[in-house]
Amino acid sequence: MEQTVAAIAIEALQSGSPDAFAALARLCADDVVFTSAVSSPVSGPRDVTAILQRFQEAGRFSKAETWEMVTTDAGTSVGATLPLSSFYERYEWHIALDEAGRITSVEQIGVAQTAPLPPTAIALAGDITMALDLARETRNPLILAYVDVQGQAVQSPRGTTQVFSQTSLAFWNHHPEGGVIRAIRSNPRLSFHYWGGIGTAFGGALSFQGTAMIKEDQTVRDQVYGRSPASEQRSDPDRLGRAVIVDLERVSGFVAGTRYNMVAGL
């Protein structure tokens, strides 16, 4: 029975098949409980399989290179090993069974990756671009850090931050002579911090470091303003602000389960 439970669990987690999740639900006891460090406990066959399905649909396990099952006296365990670029080295699901072989609990554990990630060239795309595009909508605007003209370190949320090219970010500064603009003229080095809630599709934390340039080119201005959220555009309907491009020197951290260690010049 343990082998059947583990095999069906692997099929569901690996493939995302609704039929496999339905089969897994049929193996659950009525009072089955799911626990995880990144979610609240849930109980009942429907809710337990639903939360597992949400994790699967978020792509958390799609990069797994190997899957294995281990049967113990307490039940059965399923494991998935991920590549070096993943935030988690592996996922484990410890499945407890009652005397009738029904699942009574599922504990999901993410084992964090500890091996260093070799640097690669900066190439913003995919999950990073989508995460930044959605940051304002999900109420997670990037936090800009700069040093003002008095030498004071300052942090400020920037709801217009966007990917400008594979190696640069951009943002629209509503005030044409605001503190950020004055700071850039004396010290153009900036950093951004992105935070997405753990357990969400674009959960993670990314740091961007680079050098800013104020762009007067109308094509660039139109592009940066045009790609800013409508709510941000309403704060500057006459387009009096400044377009700022930040050439990146380093991007590090993780998002959507993938780690990044990107450096300019590689």
What are the φ and ψ backbone dihedral angles of 56, each rounded to 5 degrees? -65, -45
What CATH topology corresponds to 2-112? Nuclear Transport Factor 2; Chain: A, (3.10.450)
Confidence grade of residue 199 (pLDDT, cut at 50, 70, 90) = low
pTM of the full structure: 0.80
Residues 113-129 have pLDDT tens digits of: 999 999 999 999 999 99
Query: CB within 8 A of 166, min separation 6: which ones?
Result: 122, 123, 124, 125
Over range 78-98, report the average pLDDT. Answer: 94
**66: pLDDT strictly greater than 70:** yes
**15: pLDDT strictly greater than 90:** yes
Tokens describing residue 32: 């089955």
Distance of alpha carbon 61 from alpha carbon 38, whole angstroms: 15
Find, among 58, 135, 119, the residue nearest to 85 by Cα.
Answer: 119
Going across the sheet that includes 66-72, the strands are 39-43, 28-36, 103-112, 88-97, 75-81, 66-72
Q: Where are the domains of the chain?
A: 2-112, 120-263
Pairing of strands 66-72, 153-158: unpaired
Say which amino acid occupies 201: A
What is the predicted pLDDT for the residue at 38? 83
Q: Give domain 120-263's CATH superfamily.
A: Electron Transport, Fmn-binding Protein; Chain A (2.30.110.10)
**1: pLDDT strictly greater than 70:** no
What is the predicted pLDDT for the residue at 180? 95
250 beta partners: 209, 263
Q: Give the number of C-alpha atoms closer than 13 A to the C-alpha of residue 238, restricted to the C-beta side.
A: 3
